[in-house]
Structure 1
Amino acid sequence: MVRALSLLFFFFLSLAAAAPAAAQSTARAVTGLGPRLDRAASDPAMRPLKTVIVARGGRVLAERGFRGHSPAESANIKSASKAIVSALVGIAIGKGLLEGPDQKIAPILKADLPETPDPRLNDITIGNLLSMQTGLDRMSGPNYGRWVSSRNWVRFALSQPFVDRPGGEMLYSTASTHLLSAILTRVGRRSTLALARDWLGPVEGFRIGAWEQDPQGIYLGGNQMAMSARSLLAFGELYRNGGKTAEGRQVVPGDWISQSWQHQTNSRFSGDEYGYGWFTRQIGGEQVHFAWGYGGQMLYIVPSLDLTVVMTSEESGPSARNGYRDLLHGLLADIIGAVRAA
């Protein structure tokens, strides 16, 4: 079943990717930025790199597609989609559909709680799901396969043993974001995809293509989402602009942007600060907030420079473990240097 879902996902992904490969190479302003990106991509170690878009203050400075790829084609943004689910949670709170990060999840998901629930399930909050601090065993990494092979992903996630207390250390788990997708589906009375298309629809250029669903039809929170680099840039620009569209319409509450970037915990794998679906670290001498997906799907926001950068990559391996993620951070540092010097 999982294989069938994945094949279906990538069938639709391939259809979306057949979009015209225009704008393979355009650059404006910041002298030498485009060639700098070309040189970086020519490094054999950067072969997985597919696209880069650099924008400052809402204006595209450089856009590149490498080895036949285009910023207009769809890509599986993997866990970078967790930042989008976080945005939907913030909007739901702003609409009064959810109370806030301190709201307990058990009453919302009571139909899928175990028959004899661990009392600690009653302590898990919306905020714990957003910051990966539920205390439940992780459903990422080696456990991911058996989780998505289960008949009910929500129930399976809630049935896992506690390995820490709610609010304890960060336990990176896509199941946490999937529980948020289930919660959004229930309080919004529509699918997460329908909510995203409605609530984020005013953002020019934003579009979600294919997106995998669980056996109950709930869209997979935190993985298997198809978006183009340009669409991811449009979402990043929304956050850079305090939740407002270019026309000034408030789409994501401004205070939610701040909360999403506020330090809640630290990644056990990278040491980066983690908020609500976003990592934070210093790169190129600037504070950078970023969404990060497997293989090197990156959305960077540098508030001090009004800078938004998107990088998409082949899903060729775990980008942190093989060092590729650090190369992408290094490329961002180069971009920051070029922008700062302009």
Structure 2
Amino acid sequence: MNSEKLSELEPMIKSKYSNINGIVVVRNGYIAYERYYNGYGPNDAHHVASVTKSIISALIGIAIDTGYIKNVDQKVLDFFPEYIPDAADRQKREITIRHLLTMTAPYTFEDWKEPLDKMCIQPDWVKYTLDMIGQKGSVGTFKYSTAGAHLLSAIITRSTGKSAREFANERLFKPIGMKEIPNYEMKSFGFEDLFGKNVKGWVKDPNSNSTGGWGLTLIPRDMARFGFLYLNRGIWDNNQVVSKTWIDESTAPHSETQIEEAIAKYGYLWWLREEEAAFAYLALGDGGNVICCIPEKDLVVAIASEFIMNPRDRWTLIKEQIIPAVID
């Protein structure tokens, strides 16, 4: 990579992206650039918000690869036999894992206006979400749902007998050298515990399901490791951790939504960007937490950020400052 071009990153981050606390750029499997800001260092874990969803996607793939789950077309209610839907609610019975992965399950709320705070005050988040799913919406229409991703975490637990955290430690994090995520007791379920300064390890709901849509804390290097695993089509040290088929399926377009002026394409809990600069797939979290994979450049960019409202788009930084530094 062009070191002169990369040297322009630091002043740009400090002036325009000041909530970035850590950035790791991996090219051809090697760290090409790594910097920390605002008093943070390489061992400081960050709450990566909705980046958690892309980790859940990988875990679903691993659970399918290892036979715990049949396939993405398995019905969601198969995993919750104790839940009896209303006889008239036929739509709920048809919802599959694929619908949850592609954000195409129907809900009552408007897109991008999910009442997540309501779920967080329930004693049973899974039942609340199952009640909400399938009502007054059309199957196949994109509707972003963090509660839907939480159902996927519960499905991992129902099928494997382990929380998503335990399953990830064993089948994903340990095999690729990521730090083990410890089990922290949740003292309460207030805002700071679920989303704020008290978030540690991997948040869980009142029934000990790891949160599926947010709540995971990672160090930037481990974010980059996960991205590199995907860039390397699931192989780590000659070990197939996630199947190539799953990675190809996950990073292909399955649904789309309008965001401002543009159409955004979506895979299995991964965002897709196709522009002249490059095709990329991204795990995106609130506040500007990103794992960006650009296969044709053999490039991974991991960015850990402090949560702020409406941060500058990280894709602009990647497209204008990092991709041009790649020497083909």
Shorter-normalised TM-score: what interval? 0.7 to 0.9
Measured in 2, the distance between the counterparts of 1:81 and 1:117 equals 34
Q: What TM-score comes out, normalization by structure 1 length?
A: 0.84
Paired residue secondary structure (2:240): coil
Map of 1:33-44 to 2, 5 A cutoff? 33-43=5-15
Aligned to 1:13: none
Aligned to 1:136: 107
In the TM superposition, what is the alpha-carbon distance from 1:283 to its structure 2 partner? 4.9
Paired residue secondary structure (2:213): coil
Paired residue secondary structure (1:316): coil
- Closer/same/farther in 2, CA of residues 33 and 95 from structure 1, 3 Å limit: same
- Closer/same/farther in 2, CA of residues 114 and 150 from structure 1, 3 Å limit: farther
Match of 1:83 among 37, 44, 54: 54
- Is the counterpart of residue 150 in structure 1 residue 122 in structure 2? yes
CA contact (8 A) 1:140 1:174 kept: no
In the TM superposition, what is the alpha-carbon distance from 1:33 to its structure 2 partner? 4.5
Range 130-139 or range 225-234, more displaced: 130-139
- Is the counterpart of residue 292 in structure 1 residue 292 in structure 2? no
CA contact (8 A) 1:140 1:175 kept: no
Aligned to 2:318: 332
Aligned to 1:224: 215
- Closer/same/farther in 2, CA of residues 142 and 182 from structure 1, 3 Å limit: closer
Counterpart of 2:250, as a letter, is S
Measured in 1, the distance between the counterparts of 2:122 and 2:86 equals 17
Match of 1:202 among 147, 158, 175: 175
- Closer/same/farther in 2, CA of residues 223 and 62 from structure 1, 3 Å limit: same
Gaps of 5+ in 2: 183-200
Measured in 2, the distance between the counterparts of 1:142 and 1:278 equals 19
Over the aligned positions, Cα root-mean-square deviation in angstroms equals 1.8
Q: What TM-score comes out, normalization by structure 2 length?
A: 0.88
In the TM superposition, what is the alpha-carbon distance from 1:318 to its structure 2 partner? 3.9
Aligned to 1:73: 44
CA contact (8 A) 2:85 2:92 kept: no
Measured in 2, the distance between the counterparts of 1:228 and 1:113 equals 41
Gaps of 5+ in 1: 1-28
In the TM superposition, what is the alpha-carbon distance from 1:112 to its structure 2 partner? 3.3
- Is the counterpart of residue 56 in structure 1 residue 27 in structure 2? yes
CA contact (8 A) 1:137 1:171 kept: no
CA contact (8 A) 2:114 2:145 kept: no
Match of 1:272 among 255, 264, 289: 264
In the TM superposition, what is the alpha-carbon distance from 1:141 to its structure 2 partner? 4.4
Aligned to 1:162: 135
Paired residue secondary structure (2:293): strand
CA contact (8 A) 1:104 1:124 kept: yes
Range 179-188 or range 153-162, more displaced: 153-162
CA contact (8 A) 2:6 2:325 kept: no
Report Cα offsets for 1:43-94 as digits up to 9, x if no partner.
Answer: 1x31111111110111000001112122331000000110000000001111
- Closer/same/farther in 2, CA of residues 135 and 169 from structure 1, 3 Å limit: same
CA contact (8 A) 1:86 1:277 kept: yes
CA contact (8 A) 2:92 2:135 kept: no
User: Percent identical across equivalent pairs?
Assistant: 29
CA contact (8 A) 1:273 1:280 kept: yes
Match of 1:111 among 82, 88, 91: 82
Measured in 1, the distance between the counterparts of 2:276 and 2:18 equals 22
- Is the counterpart of residue 305 in structure 1 residue 319 in structure 2? no
CA contact (8 A) 1:131 1:275 kept: yes
Range 53-62 or range 282-291, more displaced: 282-291
Aligned to 2:252: 262
Measured in 2, the distance between the counterparts of 1:298 and 1:152 equals 30
Measured in 1, the distance between the counterparts of 2:31 and 2:88 equals 51
